[in-house]
Structure 1
Amino acid sequence: MKHALCAFALGLVAAPLGAHPHIFVETALRFEINDQREVTGVTVTWTYDDFFTLLILEDMGLDADGDGELTEAELDTLFGFDLIEWPEGFEGDLYVYSAGEKIEMPRPRPIGIAVEGGFITATHFREIPPVAVEAIEVLQYDPTYYVSYDVSQGVSLTDPGCAATVTDPDQAAAQAAVDKELDGGSMEDIFNEMRVGIHFSDSITMSCAPPSN
């Protein structure tokens, strides 16, 4: 795996000093809803920041002319780049809970790739063992907060009678959690153990209107 990809992977398992994010990802989530109004899967779209995009393209030897446009062959090479190797214990930075219990999900499969305006946009699909819409809570975060996720591209559901509610993180509470981790710990302890990303995560819940008679 190339250097930039290694840096990305290592960032997923080692907390950065001070818990400042180094990679920024704008996200769109589209949840599959079956006839029983259960969530069965999610299409995840990640748009990476321009600096990380540049690192990946340079590291993989793509876009040699620097025009920001990739050939079909180059896109084929890039396809699925962020799903190739997962560090041990990595869960894809997507956590699904049903009535407070975490749902285990299979690894995702890549389904799309694009480079537009200097940003890589990668799309993958994850199956979710069927869980009732009303019972679900979804969090998207990197535990170490090396990567910052923002669902600014929207959350949608395939059932038009259902809708998602996105609750922003409490920034003051999140910073207080960081301060608490920093207090009294050595720099080595902080680097190895600081896992505060959950405090900076949006919380996504869902509900459905009663079926019409």
Structure 2
Amino acid sequence: MKTTRKNGLARLAFAGICLTALPTNAGAHPHIFAEARLEVMLGEDDQVEELRHVWRFDEFFSSTVMLEFDANTNLELEPEELEAIGETVRQSLADFDYYTSIQKDGVELGVVAPERIFANFEDGQLLMFFSVKPKAAAPLDGKLAFGVYDPTMYAAIDFVNDTDLVVMGDAGDCESAVIRPDPDQVLAEMQGSLTDAFFNDPEGYDVSQLFATRLEVTC
């Protein structure tokens, strides 16, 4: 899951929502926060069938979305307004693979765009539900890694508990583990190579992936 620095700066507003409410020259740190759950769904053929996402956004961003999409200004989001939010996000996150990384033995597989993103508004917070399928086959062998992160670092997708990343289905003898990289350790281990990679490819190097929480399945 790669994006250029130009792309990130041009689309700092998460999913293209509320462009007028967000700064266009923000630094590389989160401005939008979401608590997430990821379910890796396995099929009967020992393949990864789909990844199911649930995102719950912070109250500030949620209220901004409310103001932007509440067309009849009744301080409620009607079904058609929620549908408009979901479709806006579905179109806008396509270039970012819906913040979803699926790797097999270190190779990015890509994802197929979801048919629909469902939005809801509950207790003052915006929720989104959707699923994506791997673009390439993802059989249960070797090492599979699943992560959810914004390569522009504008949105922070956080898994509060390890139990928020789960494998659903029969994984056989495969073992799964939630990996939470330690930023200081990553920087210490990668100091030289990070510098070289950035100067060799400043627009394409995806440093945010190194710090993202991920679920690894080893078979």
TM-score greater than 0.5 by the shorter chain: yes
Whole-Å separation in 2 of the counterparts to 1:177 and 1:65 = 53
TM, length-normalised to structure 2 = 0.70
Matched ranges for 1:63-212 at <5 A: 64-66=73-75, 69-86=76-93, 89-128=95-134, 129-134=136-141, 135-152=143-160, 154-161=164-171, 164-173=176-185, 196-207=207-218
The 3-state SS of whatever aligns with 1:45 is strand
1:129-171 deviation per Cα after TM superposition (whole angstroms, max 9, x unaligned): 3312342111221122111111236122331556642111212
Aligned to 1:38: 47
1:28-83 deviation per Cα after TM superposition (whole angstroms, max 9, x unaligned): 111221123221211111111111111111111258344xx533343334333311
- After TM superposition, give the deviation of residue 121 of structure 1 in Å: 0.7
**Unmatched tracts of structure 1, length 5 or more:** 209-213
Q: Aligned in 2, Cα 1:178/1:99: closer, same or farther, shift over 3 Å?
A: closer
Whole-Å separation in 1 of the counterparts to 2:123 and 2:158 = 19
**Unmatched tracts of structure 2, length 5 or more:** 1-10
Whole-Å separation in 1 of the counterparts to 2:185 and 2:77 = 42
Q: Is the 8 A contact 1:80 1:122 kept in 2?
A: no
Aligned to 2:7: none
Number of residue-to-residue matches in the alignment: 191
Whole-Å separation in 1 of the counterparts to 2:190 and 2:153 = 10
Whole-Å separation in 2 of the counterparts to 1:170 and 1:27 = 19
- After TM superposition, give the deviation of residue 109 of structure 1 in Å: 2.6
Amino acid at match of 1:168: R
The 3-state SS of whatever aligns with 1:139 is strand
RMSD: 3.5
State the percentage of identical aligned residues: 20
TM, length-normalised to structure 1 = 0.72
Q: Aligned in 2, Cα 1:90/1:193: closer, same or farther, shift over 3 Å?
A: same
